[in-house]
Chains A and B, each alone.
Chain A
Amino acid sequence: MMRFIVIRALESLVVLALMSFVVYGLIGLMPGDPIDIMLAGDPNMTPEDRIRLRALYGLDVPIYQRYFTWLGAALGGDLGYSRTFSRPVLEVMTPYLGRTALLMFTSFLLSVAIAIPLGLLAAVRQRRLADYGINLFCFAGKSVPPFWLALMLILVFAVELNWFPAGGIETVGASGFVDRVRHLVMPVACLTLLNLATVARLMRAEAITAMRQDYVRTARAKGLNERRVIWGHAMRNALNPVVTVIALEFGTLFSGALITETVFAYPGMGKMIYDAILGNDYNLALVGLLFATLLVLVGNLAADIGYAVLDPRISYR
C-alpha cells in the first residue's frame, strides 16, 4: 500500500514538473514583454537601457536556461513577485487558494452526496418516470454552458427574487458568518449542479450492472430486505468505478470553479489566474496555474488511494 502511494506521488511530481516547463514556455509567448511594460512607464529609457534591463532580468538567455534558473529559485522557495500586487506571489495567492479549496471541496461533497442516491434511485426505478426524469436532468446538467447556468442563477435568485447576493464574498461593512455563507450559496450551488450529472449517470450505470450480479441475487435469496440489498450490496460494489471517474473529474471541477468564480466575482484561484493572464502578471499566472495543477493532482491521488482502500480486490502495483 505504502509503495503504491509513493509511486503515484512520484508520478504526480513528474506531471507537475512537465507542466511547469510547458506553462513557463507558454507564458513567455504571451503578448506584452515585461521589459516593454517597464519601459512604457518611463519615457526616459533608451534602447541601451532596454538591453541592459533584459540582461539584468536574465531575459537574454535561451528559454531552457531561464527555466532552470526559475526552477532553482522556485525550489528554494522564491516564486517571484506579482506585478499587479507588488507583493510576493505566494503571499498574494494563499488566500485565493483557501477560498477555491473551500468552494471546490464543498461542491464536491455536496454533488457526490446528491448524485449517488440519485443515480441509485434511477437504477432501481429503471425505465420508469423517476429514471427518465433523472436522466433528462443529467443531460441538461451536462449540456448547459457553465457560465450561463451561473448567469441564470443570478437572474433568478439575485435579480428577480433578491434572495442571495449576486457576487463577491462578503457585503462591504457587514462582515459575519451568515453573510459569508449567503455569498457562498450560489457559487456552490452552481458548481454542484455542474458536477452532479456525470457522477449520477455513472452511478446509475454501475448500479444497474451491480444489480444483475450473482451476489445481489444471493442476497435477495437469503431474504434480505430490498433496502439492505440496494444500499449494502449493489451500492457498495457500484461505488468503486464511480470513485475512479470522480478522480478524473477533478480537472473538470477546477474548470467549473474557474468559470463559477469569474461570473460570481468570487476571488478564488480560477479568477486569480484569469485576471493575472489578462493583466500580464506572468509570475502570478505561472504559479497560479502550477498550484491549480497541484490541486488537481492531489485530488486525483486522493481518489486513487480511496479507490484502493474501497476495493480490497485491487492489488497495489
Chain B
Amino acid sequence: MTATLAKAERPSQRSRALARFVRHRGAVVSAFVLVLIIVAAVAAPLVESWLGHGPNEPDLGKRFQAPSWAYPLGTDEAGRDVLLRLMYGGRVSLLVGLVAALASALIGTTIGILAGYYRGRLDAFLMRLTDFVIALPTLALLIVLAAVDLKKVGIPDSIAYSEAVSLYRIIFIISIVSWTGVARLVRGATLSMRTREFVRAAVALGAPARRIILVHILPNVVGPVIVATTLSVGGIILLESVLSFLGLGIQPPIASWGNMLSNAQELLTQAPQLVIYPGLAIMITVIAFNFLGDGLQDALDPRAGE
C-alpha cells in the first residue's frame, strides 16, 4: 500500500511523459489512426477470404468497376480489387517504413555514439562522412542504386530475380541514406553526456569504453533516438512510394501504395479515384507518423519541442 501511495504522491518520469503525450491531441488522434491502419494491413488476408478474390488477380472483364459488395472500392485498370490492394499495399509501406527506420536508427546511433565518445580523428572522419551523405542528391542516387543489377554484385539468379527481393532491396538502399539525422543527434547527445558526472565517475573507476557506452550513454540517448526514428518513418514511406511510383521500388505484382500510382498519369482523366485513394493512404499515414513523432518529442524531450 505504501508503495502505491508514494507513487501517487510523486508521479514517475514515465507517467509524466505519458501525461504530456496525452495532452498533444494530434499525437493521440494519430496513434489511433495508425492503429486502424495497422489493423487494416494485418486483416488483409481475412478480408481477402471474405471477398473471395485475391489482390493480384487481374480480370479484364471487370475493369473500372464502381464500388459494390464484392468490390467495396471498385476495381482498377486491370480489374483488381482496389480495397484489397490498398490493404496489402499498406503492409508493404508500413513494413518498409518501420524496418528501414529501425535500420537507419541502428546505423545512426552506432556512428553517432562512436563519433561522440571517441571524438578526435574518428569523430572528424565520421562527421565528414555524414556531411557527404547529406550533400548527395539522394533521390537520383537511390534511382541508380535501385537500378543496380544484383547479378553483377555476385548475388545468385534465384535470389536476384525473385519476387520479394525488391522489398529487401528498397529497405537496404533507403537505410544507407537515411541514418544521417540520427547520427548527428546522437553524436550531440553523446558529447554532452560525456561531460556529465556519472560518466566521468565511471571513467575514473576504470570502466571499459564498451561498458560506459552501453550502460551509461546509450540509455540516456534513447529518448531522442525514438523521437527521430518515429519522425523518419514518414519520410521513408514517402521515399518508398516515390521509388515505386517511378517503377524502381516494389515490383508488381506485389501491391504497394507507390506502384498503384505508376499508371496514374493515364488514369487521371479516366478514373481519378484510382489516383486519389493510394495517395490519400500515403498522406494520412505519413501525417500520422509525423504527428506521433511530434507528440513523442513533447513527451520524452520536453525542452526540445518548444
Contacts and interface: CB of A to CB of B under 8 A. Distances in A.
Interface of A: 15, 18-19, 23, 26-32, 139-140, 142-148, 151-152, 154-155, 159, 205, 208-209, 248, 251-252, 254-255, 258-259, 262-263, 270, 273-274, 277-278, 285, 288-289, 292-293, 295-297, 300
Given A151-B275, A296-B135, A259 B287 contact: no
Interface of B: 131-132, 134-141, 143-145, 147-149, 152-153, 234, 238, 241-242, 245-247, 258, 261, 264-265, 268-269, 272, 275-276, 278-279, 282-283, 286-287, 290-291, 306
Q: Residue among A143, A155, A159, A258 with the most chain B CB within 10 A?
A: A143
Contacts of B152: 28-31
6 contacts: A145-B286, A151-B279, A252-B138, A254-B137, A254-B139, A255-B139
A258 B132 CA distance: 20
A258 B287 CA distance: 23
A151 B261 contact: yes
Contacts of B147: 30-31, 277-278
B145 A26 contact: yes
Given A139-B291, A140-B287, A208-B306, A147 B144 contact: no
A151 B264 contact: yes
Contact of B144 (A146, A270, A285): A285
Contacts of B286: 142-145
Given A29-B152, A30-B144, A155-B272, A145 B137 contact: no
Contacts of B132: 15, 18
B290 A289 contact: no
B135 A144 contact: no
The main secondary structure of chain A at its interface with chain B is helix
Given A29-B149, A143-B234, A159-B268, A259 B139 contact: yes
Contact of A30 (B148, B276, B279): B148
Nearest to A142: B290
Given A140-B287, A143-B290, A27 B144 contact: yes
Contacts of B143: 258, 273-274, 277
Q: Residue among A144, A285, A288 with the most chain B CB within 10 A?
A: A144
B135 A15 contact: yes
A297 B135 contact: yes
Closest 10 CB pairs of A and B: A255-B139, A148-B279, A31-B149, A143-B286, A143-B287, A29-B148, A292-B137, A254-B137, A29-B152, A145-B282
Contact of A145 (B139, B242, B291): B242
B138 A152 contact: no
Given A26-B145, A145-B238, A146-B242, A296 B136 contact: yes
Given A31-B149, A143-B290, A296-B135, A258 B265 contact: no
Contacts of B276: 152
B140 A258 contact: yes
Contacts of A30: 144, 147-149, 152
A300 to B, nearest CB: 6
Given A151-B261, A159-B268, A251-B134, A258 B139 contact: yes
A145 B265 contact: no
Contacts of A19: 136
Q: Residue among B141, B290, B306 with the most chain A CB within 10 A?
A: B141
Contacts of B258: 145
Contacts of A29: 148-149, 152-153
Contacts of B279: 144-145, 148, 151-152
